Structure 1
Amino acid sequence: FRYHKIIFTFLFQFFFSTSVDGNIKAWLYDYLGPRVNYNAPGRACTSMAYTTDGQRLLSCGTSNSGESFLVEWDESQGAIKRSYRGLQKSSVGAVKFDIMKNQFVAAGNENVIKVWNLDGDDLLTTIDAEGGLPENPQIRFNKDGTLLAVYAKENKIKVLASDSGLQLLGICGSDSDESSRVVGEKGDTEGREALNSKLIEEANAGKSRKPFESYRHTQCQSLLLPSNVKVEKISRLIYGSAGNAALALASNGIHLLWKWPVNDLNLTGQVTAKVPPELLKRRNSSTTLMKNDLTANTEAVPCFALSKNDCYLISSSGAKISIFNTLTFKTVVSFMPPSSEATCLAFHPIDNNIVAIGSADFTVLVHNVRLNETISVLDGHTGRISGLAFSNTLNILVSTGADAQIIVWDAANFKRQRSRSLLEIPEGLHQSDTYVQFHPDQTQLLAVHKSYMGILVANNLECVAKWIPGDSPPISGATFSCDGQKIYAAFMDGTVGIFASSPLEFFSWISLHSYLPSSSSLNVYPAAIAAHPQKPNQFAVGLTGGEVVVIEPPSPGTEW
C-alpha cells in the first residue's frame, strides 16, 4: 500500500505506518510483515502521535469527502478509546494536529486552532491567532508546550507564546498583564519580525481598562416610565421602529408597551424624557396586557422580537411561543417550540412569517409560523443560544451562544459559512450568554459578553476592536446608537458607559443615581438596554427592579 506517515513507539519497540487510504499497520524490526492491521475512522488519510510520556496514542485524519476524525487509540487492541468532537468538514486538505505534553491536543481547522483537554471529548477552546490562517493550518508545539507555531497565509509563520515562552524567546515585556503574544515570520527573504502582534488568550483577557472614575462623569435627563402593573426584572427592551413607543418584557411574562402622545410639548410624538407616555392596555377585556405562558423552569429565558412594521410581537418565557397583535393585544397564534424551550427570537427581515428560534438545546430553528413547520435546524453551538441577528444587506443570520461562539449562516439556504470563538473571554466564564447586534451599516457586528465587548466584520468575523472590563463591573448589556457612532453599555453596578464605536473608546459614564430617582431602590442595575431608532443620543434601560428609564442629554440638541 502507499505509505503516508511513520511513527515510532516511545521505547522504539515497534513502529506504526499509516497510508493515504486510512490503513494503519504496526511493525516489529524484522521481515515478517505487519503484526497489527486496522483502519482509521472514515478510512481517512491519517497522522498519528504519542503524548510526551508515550502512554497515549492519538490520530487525526481527513477523508476524501472532507470529514475529519481526531481519536485516541488502544494501541494493543487497535480500538478507538475516545473520539474528540468539534472538527468540521474541510473543503481543502487534511487537518493537522499536535499534542501539548500530556495535557492538551490541538488541531488546525476552520481557519482557527482548536484545543481539547486530552481527557475530555468536547472542544475546550479555539484560538484565531488574530486571523490570517488557512482553512486547515499546520501547527506544532515546542517540547515544553510553551510555544505553538502555526502556518499562516502569505507565507507567514506565527508563533504563539505563553509567559514562559516569552521568556524563552527573550521577550520579557513591560506589559505584565499581557498573557501571550504572537511572533511573526514572513517568507524566506524578509526574515523574522520582532513581536508582530498581540494575542489575548482565554486564560487572561487582554489589558484591563481603567475604572470609571478615570473618565468623564456625565449628567443626563431621565424619565422613569409610569406603570401601575407589578412586574419583576425587565428581561428584554426594544423601541418601536417609528421611535414613538417602547416595549419591555418582564421576567414574569408581562409585556409593557408605552406610547408617547403628540401634543404641544412633543410635536413629533417621539420617545422623549421630557413628556411621560401612556402605558397601553387592552380595554373592555379581562386580559388587559399581553402576557406569556410561564414554565416551572426557573432557568427559562424570556425573549421576544418585534416585526419590522411593529404590528406583531413574537415572545416566549420558557413555555409556549406566542405571537401578539400589538394594536389589539390579541394572541394571533401560540405554539410549543419544536424542540427545546426558546431562548432567543428573531424575525426574518423580509418575510415576517419566518422566524429564527434559538433554543436551550444549543440549536437554532428556522420556523415558518404561518405553516407551523420547521424549515431548518442549525447545529454547531455547545451552549444555549443567546443571540440572533439577520443582515439583509449580507443575507446572513448570525447566532451566538453561551459557548461564546459566533456562527454565520447563509440566510438563503441556512448553511454554515464561518464561525469563531471570542477568545478574550476568561476561563470559567464561557457558559454565560453572549449577545450580538448588527451595526446600522449591516456589515459589522457588536458582540457582548459580561467580560468582553467587541466589534467584528461580519464577512470574516475579524475582530477590529475590543474592550475588556478589567477592574470594572461585568457588562450586563450593550447596544449601538442608531447612527452606529456610539455604543451604550450597561454594567452590573448600575453604571452606563458611553463609548465611541470607531475607534472603540470609553469616553464618559452615567452613574445609577444620575438617572434613577432617589425614591427608587439603589440595589438594581440595567438588565436590558436599547437605543432609539432615530435619535442617536437617546437610549433606555430596563432594570432588575422592574423599572424602565429613558435617558438623554440634559439639554435639547446636545450630544454626550
Structure 2
Amino acid sequence: MWRPKEITEPSQLRSLRLPDSLLPVKVIRLMYTHSGSGVLALAYNAIHKLWRWHKNEQNPTPNATVDIAPQIWQPPSGILMTNDIKDANTDDTIPRFALSKNNSYTMTSFKAPLPASTCLAFYPPDNNIVAIGMSDCSILMYNVQHNSVVQTLKGHQKPVTGLAFATERKMLVSAGTDAELCVWNTVSWKKVASKFLKLPSKRTNNSQAETRVHFNPDKTHFMAVHETQITIQLNWILWVPRQAFWFYCRCRHAVYSCDGQSIFVCVEDGGVSILEANPLKLKCRINCAAYMPSKRSAIS
C-alpha cells in the first residue's frame, strides 16, 4: 500500500532562515515576487520586508534558493515601507496585500472604516485597476491612478475573502466566508454563475472561515481553498468538480507550484502538506519540527 512520505527531522530536508536585522515581529502575509527572485512579507506591525536573491556565479538566474542567503532590502532613506494603522485595532484586522504584475508596487489593507476591505487582487491587463473584496459582500473595481471606483459588483451574501482573474477567459472568480463561489464576466462585469462548496455536516460551520481561489498556471481550472477542503473546479460554468481533498486539521493556506503539478498546503498545526495536483492526493507531509528550531537550539 502506497503511503505519503513523512518528513519529521531537519536532516531530511534543506531549509534556510531568512536574515533579518529588523525588529522581530510576527509575519502575517508572505509571497514570492513574480520574477521569483524575492520574497515579500507583511509584518504584524504593518511593515513590509523584502528579501532579494542577486545574480552571481552560484545563482545566475537568479531565483529564490536555500543554497544562498538573500539580502533584506532597505530603502536608501532608511524609511521603511509601513502602513498607517494608528486608528486600527490590530487584534481585529484582516490583513491583505497584493503585488502588481511588474513588481512595481504593492497594495495593502489592514482595516478601514466600515465597510472594510477583505481581499485584494490586481487586474492583470491593467496594473492601475485592483479588485477589492469588501465586508459588505460587494467587490469594488478600483482605479489606483484616478483614485476612483469604476465598477461595483454585487452578488455575494457574505464578506468576500477570495479573488482570482483568468484574463484569457475574461473571468473573475470570487469566494465568500459562506463558501459561495461566484464567476463574473470581466467585459460586462455581470455574474454568470455561482455555487456553494459542499461542507462536511459533522463539522461546525465557522462563519469567519475564509475561502480562497487560485487558478492553475495555464488557467484551465481553479482551486477553491476552504479550511475543510481543497476542491479543483474543472468547469466553472457547469460546476464540474474534478476532485476534492478533505482535511482533518484545518487548512490555513494553499498555493500551486510554479508548474502547476503540485499544491503546497499549510495546516493549523504548522505542518506543510504537498499534494499532487492531478490526481489530487497527498504525496508528502512535513512536520513543523523538521523546519522550526526547538527552544533549546534557539537559545543556544
TM over 0.5: yes
Aligned partner of 2:292: which letter? L
- Over 3 Å counting, the alpha-carbon distance change for 1:398 and 1:272 in structure 2 is same
Q: Does 1:394 align with 2:180?
A: no
Q: Does 1:466 align with 2:244?
A: yes
1:508 paired residue among 253, 259, 284: 284
Larger Rg: 1
Q: CA deviation at 1:520?
A: 8.5
Q: Which residue of 1 aligns with 2:128?
A: 353
Q: Distance in 1 between matches of 2:57 and 2:295?
A: 29
Q: Which residue of 2 aligns with 1:245?
A: 38
- Over 3 Å counting, the alpha-carbon distance change for 1:244 and 1:520 in structure 2 is farther
Q: Distance in 1 between matches of 2:116 and 2:244?
A: 32
Structural RMSD (CA): 2.0
- Contact 1:231/1:254 (<8 A) preserved: no
Q: Does 1:217 align with 2:10?
A: no
Report how many aligned residue pairs link the two structures: 287
Q: Which residue of 2 aligns with 1:496?
A: 272
Spell out the pairing of 1:530-545 with structure 2 (5 A cutoff). Answer: none
Q: Distance in 2 between matches of 1:381 and 1:232?
A: 35
Deviation per CA, 1:515-538: give whole Å up to 9, x if none.
22335999xxxxxxxxxxxxxxxx
Identity %: 37
Q: Which residue of 2 aligns with 1:456?
A: 233
- Contact 2:137/2:158 (<8 A) preserved: yes
Q: Distance in 2 between matches of 1:513 and 1:347?
A: 36
- Over 3 Å counting, the alpha-carbon distance change for 1:517 and 1:262 in structure 2 is farther
Q: CA deviation at 1:430?
A: 4.2
- Over 3 Å counting, the alpha-carbon distance change for 1:521 and 1:486 in structure 2 is farther
Q: Distance in 2 between matches of 1:497 and 1:427?
A: 23
Where in structure 1 are there 5+ consecutive unaligned residues? Answer: 1-213, 320-336, 523-560
Where in structure 2 are there 5+ consecutive unaligned residues? Answer: none
Secondary structure at 1:276's aligned position in 2? coil
Secondary structure at 2:290's aligned position in 1? helix
Aligned partner of 2:52: which letter? K
Q: Which residue of 2 aligns with 1:334?
A: none
- Contact 1:224/1:516 (<8 A) preserved: no
Aligned partner of 1:420: which letter? K
- Over 3 Å counting, the alpha-carbon distance change for 1:427 and 1:235 in structure 2 is same
Q: CA deviation at 1:377?
A: 1.4
Aligned partner of 2:121: which letter? A
Aligned partner of 1:517: which letter? P
Q: Which residue of 2 aligns with 1:412?
A: 187
- Over 3 Å counting, the alpha-carbon distance change for 1:520 and 1:301 in structure 2 is farther
Q: Which residue of 1 aligns with 2:222?
A: 445
2:57 paired residue among 261, 264, 285: 264
Q: Distance in 2 between matches of 1:374 and 1:306?
A: 19
Q: Distance in 1 between matches of 2:244 and 2:284?
A: 17
- Contact 1:246/1:259 (<8 A) preserved: yes
Q: Distance in 1 between matches of 2:29 and 2:239?
A: 26
- Over 3 Å counting, the alpha-carbon distance change for 1:284 and 1:370 in structure 2 is closer
Q: CA deviation at 1:427?
A: 3.9
Deviation per CA, 1:259-307: give whole Å up to 9, x if none.
012223322221101111111111234x2x2111111263221111111
Q: Does 1:365 align with 2:143?
A: no
- Contact 1:389/1:397 (<8 A) preserved: yes
Q: Distance in 1 between matches of 2:49 and 2:229?
A: 30
Aligned partner of 2:180: which letter? Q
Q: Distance in 1 between matches of 2:28 and 2:240?
A: 30
Aligned partner of 1:378: which letter? L
Structure number with greater CO (CA < 8 Å, separation at least 6) is 2
Deviation per CA, 1:173-202: give whole Å up to 9, x if none.
xxxxxxxxxxxxxxxxxxxxxxxxxxxxxx
1:433 paired residue among 210, 229, 241: 210
- Contact 2:226/2:251 (<8 A) preserved: yes
TM-score by length of 2: 0.89
TM-score by length of 1: 0.49
Secondary structure at 1:298's aligned position in 2? helix
- Contact 1:475/1:491 (<8 A) preserved: yes
Q: Distance in 2 between matches of 1:232 and 1:520?
A: 20
Q: Which residue of 1 aligns with 2:154?
A: 379
- Contact 1:496/1:511 (<8 A) preserved: yes
